[in-house]
Structure 1
Amino acid sequence: MAGGAIVSTGPIKNYNGGMTAFVFITCVVAATGGLIFGYDLGISGGVTSMNEFLKKFFPSVYKRMNDDSIKQSQYCKFDSQLLTSFTSCLYLAALVASFFASAVTRIFGRKISMLIGGTVFLVGSIINGIASNVLMLIIGRLLLGVGVGFANQSVPVYLSEMAPAKVRGALNMGFQLAITIGILVANLVNYGTAQMKKNGWRWSLAIAAVPAVIMSVGSVLLPDTPNSLLERGHMEKAKSMLEKIRGTSEVDEEFQDLMDASQQSKMVEHPWRNITQPRYRPQLVMAILIPFFQQLTGINAIMFYAPVLFKTLGFGDNASLMSAVITGLVNVFATFVSIFTVDKYGRRFLFLEGGIQMIVCQILVGTLIGLKFGTTGEGSMSKGYSDLVLILICVYVAAFAWSWGPLGWLVPSEIFPLEIRSAGQAINVSVNMFFTFIIAQIFLNLLCHMKFGLFLFFAAWEIVMTIFIYFFLPETKNVPIEEMNRVWKQHWFWGKYIPDDAVAGGIQLSAGKSVA
């Protein structure tokens, strides 16, 4: 091992209890928080490709699209900073909100964060549905962003804390499944409302209120996690809840480990300062690089602008929306692959396989588009050629949906010790939202200037991130969440950052007493 003598960390513990109906139901309800994020990801691209919406709010883009006298590259028809600001401002708001959500999650619990997120998102969806000018649209989107920031901060942590170690991956991925269902529903709604003669876009935006209500009501009904109860000093309630979610009264060993972690957590007065200490270096690096890489797969560019992208590639209005529905269906079904395999084959296998598959697809899509449109953006695709591009994009979406999609949320949410967990998740969400904002803001401009090379740009990043996972991410499947330091201690690179007393089973408390 790099960094000194090998330290015996002992076997990973197997706690009593297992999957219960109570845990399954609570995790399903909590995971619906992903619906609001997914619905928003899917709805904006369809709405921004609707002529009525563009004519009302973005007339210059509408004119470029429909005026044949304007000489315009196929790659650049939708390039508008105001249009992309409508999509991307949400993620800037989510970035800021995630830091407030971190404090709320730590002090008041995970479910209060979910309730705030759902309520604010509901208000934003109503404002967007009745919008009469661009300012109202932007205000509504900013409120949606606050809701997304709170939901994405609290839901993955809640799921990781409720789930037994052996099925934590599958249950946590319920969040990603809800995101993909939200995207699919949004694509179906867009396809339906596009057929309406008037105000179809209003319905698309206003229906976001439905997942917001589901999340808000669900959060009121949810119980608190044992970790959160301990964090706020409710010891008896925490043990009772642990017995309930594990389905057994024999939880003393796991409860003791939670108590030790909570005790250590209370010694940390400044989690934001502490998270920069060398002992938390592996977790901090992962919380920054995993969401950073997740956005540079290029998936959100496709999910935001799928209808716009397909329209750019020569699909008709309805054909582009239907193509987005097809990719949405692939996204949902491929996520199930991850749910059923993540705790069997592990996180690393899915990361690596998905990365290689995405690299191949991005290179092929970029090459095919380059051959047809070249650098001028002039030309058109035959139906067979368009179908081939659609198939490759679907294979790419499938790879993301069983790798970087769910794992980008799962891995950061399960690796942080309790004392810095809320701060770590806030960093994860804020980095994710920041680069989601950047990609959303510049994608159409990049498409205009880089043309087919944009797909090769994303492929190059996918090569980098796949190499990073191979060398630097240890396997975390079936490891109890409070035992995670053992995994880092055994890693060839990260082991040198983890002090001996940080390994669960021998945590040194400030009084000098070793807790076995």
Structure 2
Amino acid sequence: MAGGGSLNEKHKQYPGKMTIFVFLACLVASSGGLIFGYDIGISGGVTSMDPFLISFFPSVYAKEQEVVETNQYCKFDSVMLTLFTSSLYLAALVASLFAGYITKKCGRRVSMLGGGIIFLLGAILNGLAKNVAMLIIGRIFLGIGVGFSNQSVPLYLSEMAPAKMRGMLNISFQLMITIGILAANFINYFTAKISGGWGWRISLGLAAVPAAIMAGGSIFLPDTPNSLVARGKEQEARAMLRRIRGTEDVGLEFDDLVAASEATKAIENPWSTLLERRYRPQLAMAFLIPTLQQLTGINVVMFYAPVLFKTIGFGGTASLIEIFPLEIRSAAQSAVVVFNMTFTFVIAQIFLMLLCRLKFGLFYFFGTWEIIMTIFVYFFLPETKGIPIEEMDRIWGKHWYWKRFVNDGNGKVELTSTAV
């Protein structure tokens, strides 16, 4: 296949099956996607409500009421208004850098719990906002919550899932984002009709509901075996591995986890390690996939197009890149979120300006990037289906392009953890 890495290649097969325990744990964890999806959907609707604009952005409301003879695309073109929306992405960007360290040192569950609580505080602030300052501060809290959840939830899902079902469980994060968007659109539809002009407070305040679901659920979630091993809790990790795989025969997978953990301990700075030649394919994907994803306008076009097309398109691509060995996994996932949020901020900040100038042609612009991303994924993203997460090193050494970075002079793969 063009992407490299045949599905028929021999890889380690760990014993185990999908258990009810894993399914429920992943279902609860994936609720972290609700907070991101709800915020994306709710902010687009609230910023078009007249009472909200009159209270916080009167100049935008005045422009909207003007008779514009030729260009209706420009009526929401306001730097301040887009900054209100996109400030969340800046906060998420910064938060994800700290989330990587916390996720590694304290576990994935703690990061999800912290993200849910902070997002809850942001929802309360936004719902009670009296001025723009309260709105922006609330958005910053929301962004911190999104940064923590987007960094930790994909890691949690990938590490809990059996190799053969990892893609199915990981995409549940994107499913929850989509459900959050859909719910937000329904809520905006009804709250916009509330007489008295306070419906926007309900829309913003109800973000507390998915935040409470995420935070409350995280209290009861177990930590992943990978995280437990990395923190020196090997007995707990073995017991958890037996529970989530539904079998006592976990020796092979557990040994690989321990070996990966030992490799992790030898790394003083995972950020600098991520820049090493052998990790260049993963680092390239951490940058290019989120970047191309945002250049397709995925998080802004959905305000104007059916959510279905986001779901079946590239909406969940960035969270499906299960390509990082344990020693750099937390830092690398933080890098994914950083690049994702950076370009989300840029696109969100310039979208209304581009819409004003390009009009409907903006959607052709984004469509062109969809084509470019499709070509890129076909040729440069290896297939990861059915491959144990600790065996990902192998696929780069067999890829037609990336093998030049991970092979030594004898054509052998420079394995970084347990793939032998």
- Give the TM-score normalised by structure 2: 0.94
Rg (Cα) greater in structure:
1
Write the letter of the residue equivalent to 2:223: D
Distance 1:221 1:506, change over 3 A: closer
Partner of 2:49: 50
Aligned partner of 1:428 in structure 2 is 336
Q: Distance in 2 between matches of 1:420 and 1:52?
A: 47
Q: Secondary structure of the residue that 2:281 maps to in structure 1?
A: helix
Question: 2:200 aligned with 1:201, yes or no?
Answer: yes
How far 1:72 moved relative to its partner?
A: 6.1
More helix by share: 1
Paired residue for 2:240?
241
The residue aligned with 1:162 is: 160
Q: Write the distance in 2 (CA, Å) between the matches of 1:98 and 1:502.
A: 29
* Residues 80-479 of structure 1 aligned to structure 2 (within 5 Å): 80-198=78-196, 199-303=198-302, 306=303, 393-394=305-306, 397-411=307-321, 414-479=322-387
Q: CA RMSD in A?
A: 1.6
Cα distance in 2, alignment partners of residues 423 and 253 from structure 1: 26
- Residue by residue over 1:313-345, the C-alpha shift from the partner in whole angstroms, topping out at 9 and shown as x without a partner, is xxxxxxxxxxxxxxxxxxxxxxxxxxxxxxxxx
Evaluate the alpha carbon distance shift between residue 427 and residue 468 of structure 1 in structure 2; reply closer, same or farther with a 3 A threshold.
Answer: same
1:488–1:64 distance in 2 versus 1, CA, 3 Å: same
- Name the residue aligned to 2:5: none
Query: How far apart, in 2, do the equivalents of 1:467 and 1:184 lie?
Result: 29
CA distance in 2 between counterparts of 1:35 and 1:191 reads 18
CA contact (8 A) 1:43 1:183 kept: yes
Which AA in structure 1 matches 2:35? Answer: I
How big is each residue's C-alpha offset from its partner over 1:257-277, in whole Å with a ceiling of 9 and x where there is no partner? 111111111111110000000
Correspondence for 1:358: none
Secondary structure of the equivalent of 1:404? coil
Q: Does 1:73 align with 2:77?
A: no
Shift of 1:452: 2.0
CA distance in 1, matches of 2:63, 2:326: 53
Measured after TM superposition, the shift of residue 458 of structure 1 is: 1.1
SS of equivalent residue, structure 1 residue 434: helix
Matched with 1:357 is: none
Moved over 4 A (4+): 504-507
Q: Secondary structure at the match of 1:405?
A: coil
Question: Is the 1:127–1:137 Cα contact (8 Å) retained in structure 2?
Answer: yes
Question: Contact (CA 8 Å) 1:64, 1:72: kept in 2 or not?
Answer: no
SS across alignment from 2:12: coil
Q: Which amino acid aligns with 2:194?
A: M
Comparing 491-500 and 12-21, the one that deviates more:
491-500
The 1-side partners of 2:253 and 2:416 are apart by 11
Partners in 2 of 1:497 and 1:192 — Cα distance? 54
Task: Structure 1: state its 5+ residue gaps.
Answer: 1-8, 310-392, 508-515
Match in the other structure for 1:336: none
Paired position in structure 2 for 1:494: 402
CA distance in 2, matches of 1:399, 1:419: 35
Q: Given the superposition, is the C-alpha separation of residues 153 and 181 from structure 1 closer, same or farther in structure 2, using an over 3 Å criterion?
A: same
Structure 2 distance, partners of 1:110, 1:506, is: 22
Distance 1:274 1:485 in 2: 15
Distance 1:71 1:178 in 2: 41
**Residues 211-247 of structure 1: CA deviation (Å, up to 9, x unaligned):** 1111111111000000000010001101110000000
What's the CA shift for 1:501? 5.7
Read off the aligned partner of 1:173 and give its amino acid letter: I
Question: In 1, are the aligned partners of 2:86 and 2:349 still within 8 Å (CA)?
Answer: yes
Change (3 A) 1:81 1:238: same
**Counterparts of 1:263 and 1:480, CA distance in 2:** 18
Report the Cα offset of residue 505 of structure 1. Answer: 8.6
Give the alignment's TM-score, normalised by structure 1. Answer: 0.77
- One-letter code aligned to 1:185: A
Are the aligned partners of 1:482 and 1:504 in contact in 2 as well (CA < 8 Å)?
no
Per-residue CA shift, 1:301-322, capped at 9, x if unaligned? 123xx2xx5xxxxxxxxxxxxx
**Matched residue type, 1:294:** Q
C-alpha contact (below 8 Å) 2:122/2:140 kept by paired residues: yes
